């Protein structure tokens, strides 16, 4: 009599759309270096071991009789198989479906958009930047089997896929599964069979994963004894004198999920009232999630080398681009998430690490201006958020700031440089905000400042409109917008070549400006002669007590402003067009009224806006043009 097979049949599942698209791109795109898959799998394995160590704090029985964490690479060259195995926390059936069948990262779409556009050698860099993790295995394998048993569970599950749109999940036989943890079996493609060569695997591990805090062993062939190729010694506990720049770079790539080199490494041990070690890196390129709306940091918290969480705010949000970790000797191992948020010790660590990172950036700015300039070009817009948010360190952040200005010739200037070049009787630091550097440089509001050789900061980032209005000053000099209120330039002498631009307005021009004000009525807050214009006929500015116009636009787009303030129209009383209009006879009143409205629309266009009434603008322009045609 034949016994019926009671083993459940494998369940078939389809990848969610984003995963299927990602896998297709990875398999069919060309990469200069596929080695990154091993780093990703080892990083996942190390995280699983760290998670077990953390959970075992409350439940030591999870260790069973195997308390020492390990990662093992098993080579089966005859069958073209490479296995990455760990004895970490493992996964249940549902956790495998969630972890391997879906992608929950906010950066998935951004990654896929970038990778589709990538060509040649950029692919490897993209993988490093976006940390695609487990899915990178399909670059080298035409099938991947994952067998996992969660710590403390009797049940094991096998997940299998060829990366072409679907996967299967089924119970695993007891003798096929690890006692605890996860086994990733890569069935290598024919052209990637070299990943079964010992020397190649050992080189990749040492270059990219040699400093993960879990020992890594290699089994050269089935039945052979494991040989340790990485000791799992935490890099951050070693003396700095024993660590090479290459060691730091390898560790940075492992902990940051990046494939570039760090622009700055900060490694120190704090002793005294609070004892902790910090190892932080400023990336050399822009992380994909730099402008993530959630703005979470990427610093990991360890306690006595046990990974606790990567969600503790160990740095302020304006330093969220910094990657690394803090290992505390004072926090309890069973620290809860609630305790983390409220812990005065964590607050002290955050203060100490923040101060040290900023101090190291100051040293870099002093000792290697070129390297610091690259950091500022990459992360300046984020660092400037601190000028708005962190009053305590505002002075330090202002010193770190670098700005394009009307006098910088396309380069960068510090505020120290700016203050050192102040003109006679200049009492403020002038700036103009906007969204485009070229448009800012062409702003008519800058003309009077150029005529006096007064330097103006050009601020094109959205955050600039906020921090300059937060009561900031530098060495006692307040920040003043060139598009708000009066220019206050009368006390600063003109350059010799520009002296004729300061001639007083004629009585006719004064009368014309008053008539423009009468004609425009409620459309503007005021019409006045301009000190700041030397070449253009008109410009718009905000009133002295009003909101800067760029900030007003940003708030309006965000729906945080119900109505905009009326602008002030400034007219250049020495401009040829204005003088000609002022000298028109009283019988030309209709033309003067059309000209008044057209001057306002011209100012709006120069300010990057559209005429308020396109039809009326067109009609007025047509009437004026007809007068010019015989």
Please tell me whether 367 is known to bind a ligand: no
CA distances from residue 485 to 427, 449, 519, 542, 549 in whole angstroms, order as listed: 15, 14, 22, 6, 11
Average of pLDDT values for 497-502?
57
Say how many CA atoms lie within 13 Å of 614 toward its Cβ.
Answer: 2
How far apart CA 410 and CA 355 sit, in angstroms, is: 31
pLDDT digits (tens, 9 = 90+) for 164-207: 878 899 999 878 899 999 999 999 999 999 999 999 999 888 87
129 annotated ligand binder:
yes
Q: Residue 581 pLDDT > 90, yes or no?
A: yes
User: Known binder of ligand: residue 546?
Assistant: no
Is 588 within any annotated ligand binding site?
no
**Residue that has been written with the tokens 């070693």 in this structure:** 238
Angular region, 481: left φ>0, alpha ψ -120 to 50, beta rest: beta
At 526, is the pLDDT very low, low, confident or very high (cuts 50, 70, 90)?
A: very high
The model's confidence at residue 111, banded by pLDDT at 50, 70 and 90, is very low
Q: Is 44 annotated as a binding residue?
A: yes
- Ligand-binding site membership of 59 (annotated): no
pLDDT at 30 over 50: no
pTM: 0.70
User: What mean pLDDT do residues 463-476 have?
Assistant: 90
- Which pLDDT band, with edges at 50, 70 and 90, does 501 fall under? low
- pLDDT for residue 155: 93
Tell me if 323 is assigned to a ligand binding site.
Answer: no
Rounded to whole angstroms, the Cα distance separating 501 from 485 reads 21
What is the band of 1 on the pLDDT scale with cuts at 50, 70, 90?
Answer: very low
86 is in an annotated binding site: yes
The two tokens of residue 361 are 């950036």
Q: What is the pLDDT of residue 26?
A: 59
List, for residues 423-446, the tens digit of each pLDDT value. 988 999 999 998 889 989 999 999
The per-residue pLDDT for 497 is 58
Q: Which of 41-45, 302-306, 347-351, 591-595 has the lowest mean pLDDT?
A: 302-306
Name the band, by pLDDT with cuts 50, 70 and 90, for residue 603.
Answer: very high
Give tens-digit pLDDT for 301-324.
888 777 777 778 899 999 999 999
The DSSP code sequence of 83-117 is EEEE-SS---HHHHHHHHH----TTHHHHHHHHHH
Q: Is the predicted pLDDT of residue 272 greater than 90, yes or no?
A: no
Query: Which residue, chain included where needed, has tokens 């990662």?
Result: 71
Confidence class for position 544, pLDDT limits 50, 70, 90: confident
Task: Tell me the mean pLDDT in the region 238-248.
Answer: 91
pLDDT at 417 over 60: yes
131 annotated to bind ligand: yes
Per-residue pLDDT at 17 exceeds 80: no
Is 107 one of the annotated binding-site residues? yes
Q: Cα(412)–Cα(436) distance, rounded to whole angstroms?
A: 16
Per-residue model confidence (pLDDT) at position 20: 64
Q: Which CATH architecture has domain 236-374?
A: 2-Layer Sandwich (3.30)
Whether 572 has a binding-site annotation, put simply, is: no
Per residue in 381-406, pLDDT (tens digit) is 999 999 999 999 999 999 999 999 99
Structure confidence at residue 411 (pLDDT): 93
Q: Is 80 annotated as a binding residue?
A: no
pLDDT of residue 124: 37
The pLDDT score that the predictor gives to residue 580 is 93
Give me the residue label for tokens 């556009």.
117
Question: Is 245 exposed, middle or buried, given 0-12, 13-18 or 19+ CB atoms closer than 10 A?
Answer: exposed
Please give the mean pLDDT across all residues of the chain: 85
| Residue 52: Cβ-neighbour burial (10 angstroms; 0-12, 13-18, 19+) | buried
Domain boundaries, the chain: 11-229, 236-374, 499-628
The owner of tokens 């004609």 is: 519
- Residue 107: pLDDT above 60? no
Q: Is 427 annotated as a binding residue?
A: no
- For residue 419, give both structure tokens: 């203050």
pLDDT of residue 31: 45
The verdict on whether residue 150 carries a ligand-binding annotation is no
Q: What is the pLDDT of residue 499?
A: 55
Quickly name the fold that domain 499-628 has: 1.20.120
The CATH label, of 1.10.1040.10, 3.30.565.10, 3.40.50.10680, 1.20.120.790, for the domain at 11-229 is 3.30.565.10
């Amino acid at each position: 009599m034949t016994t019926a097979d009671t083993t459940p049949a494998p369940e078939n599942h389809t990848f969610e759309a984003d995963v299927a698209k990602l896998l297709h791109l990875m398999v069919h795109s060309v990469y200069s270096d596929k080695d990154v898959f091993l780093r990703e799998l080892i990083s996942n394995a190390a995280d699983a071991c760290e998670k077990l160590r953390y959970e075992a704090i409350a439940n030591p029985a999870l260790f069973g009789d195997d308390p020492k964490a390990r990662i093992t690479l098993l080579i089966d060259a005859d069958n073209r198989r490479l296995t990455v195995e760990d004895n970490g926390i493992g996964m249940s059936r549902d956790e495998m479906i969630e972890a391997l069948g879906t992608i929950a990262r906010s950066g998935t779409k951004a990654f896929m958009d970038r990778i589709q556009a990538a060509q040649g050698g950029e692919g490897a860099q993209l993988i490093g930047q976006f940390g695609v993790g487990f899915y990178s295995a399909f670059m080298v394998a035409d099938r991947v089997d994952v067998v996992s048993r969660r710590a403390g569970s009797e049940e094991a599950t096998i997940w299998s896929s060829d990366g072409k749109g679907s996967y299967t999940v089924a119970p695993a036989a007891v003798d096929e599964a690890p006692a605890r943890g996860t086994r990733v079996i890569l069935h290598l493609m024919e052209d990637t069979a070299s990943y079964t060569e010992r020397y190649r695997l050992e080189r990749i591990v040492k270059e990219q994963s040699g400093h993960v805090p879990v020992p890594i062993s290699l089994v050269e062939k089935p039945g052979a004894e494991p040989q340790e190729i990485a000791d799992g010694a935490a890099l951050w506990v070693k003396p700095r004198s024993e660590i090479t720049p290459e060691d730091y770079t390898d560790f940075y790539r492992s902990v940051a999920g990046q494939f570039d080199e760090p622009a700055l490494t900060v490694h120190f041990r704090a002793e005294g009232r609070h004892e902790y070690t910090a190892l932080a890196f400023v990336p050399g390129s822009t992380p994909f999630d730099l402008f993530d709306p959630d703005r979470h940091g990427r610093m990991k918290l360890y306690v006595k080398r046990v990974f606790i969480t990567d969600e503790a705010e160990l740095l302020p949000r304006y330093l969220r681009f910094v990657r690394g970790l803090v290992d505390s000797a004072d926090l309890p191992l069973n620290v809860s998430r609630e305790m983390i948020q409220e812990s005065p010790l964590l607050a002290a660590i955050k203060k100490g690490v923040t101060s040290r990172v900023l101090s190291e950036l100051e040293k870099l700015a002093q000792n290697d201006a070129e390297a610091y300039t690259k950091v500022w070009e990459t992360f300046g817009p984020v660092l400037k958020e601190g000028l708005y948010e962190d009053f305590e360190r505002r002075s330090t952040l202002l010193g770190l700031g670098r700005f394009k200005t009307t006098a910088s010739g396309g380069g960068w200037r510090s505020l120290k440089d700016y203050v050192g070049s102040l003109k006679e009787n200049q009492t403020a630091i002038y700036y103009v905000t906007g969204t485009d550097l070229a448009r800012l440089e062409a702003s008519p509001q800058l003309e009077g400042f150029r005529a006096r050789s007064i330097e103006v900061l050009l601020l094109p980032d959205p955050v600039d409109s906020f921090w300059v209005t937060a009561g900031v000053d530098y060495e006692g000099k307040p920040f003043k917008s060139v598009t708000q209120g009066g220019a206050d330039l009368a006390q600063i002498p003109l350059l010799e070549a520009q002296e004729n631009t300061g001639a007083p307005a004629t009585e006719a021009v004064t009368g014309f400006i008053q008539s423009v004000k009468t004609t425009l009525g409620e459309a503007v807050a005021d019409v006045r002669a301009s000190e700041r214009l030397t070449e253009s006929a008109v410009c718009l500015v905000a009133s002295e007590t009003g909101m800067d116009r760029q900030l007003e636009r940003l708030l309006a787009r965000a729906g945080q402003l119900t109505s905009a303030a009326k602008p002030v129209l400034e007219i250049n009383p020495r401009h040829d067009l204005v003088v000609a209009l002022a000298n028109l006879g009283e019988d030309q009143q209709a033309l003067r009224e059309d000209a008044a409205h057209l001057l306002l629309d011209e100012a709006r266009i120069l300010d990057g806006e559209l005429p308020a009434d396109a039809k009326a603008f067109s009609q007025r322009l047509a009437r004026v043009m007809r007068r010019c045609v015989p």
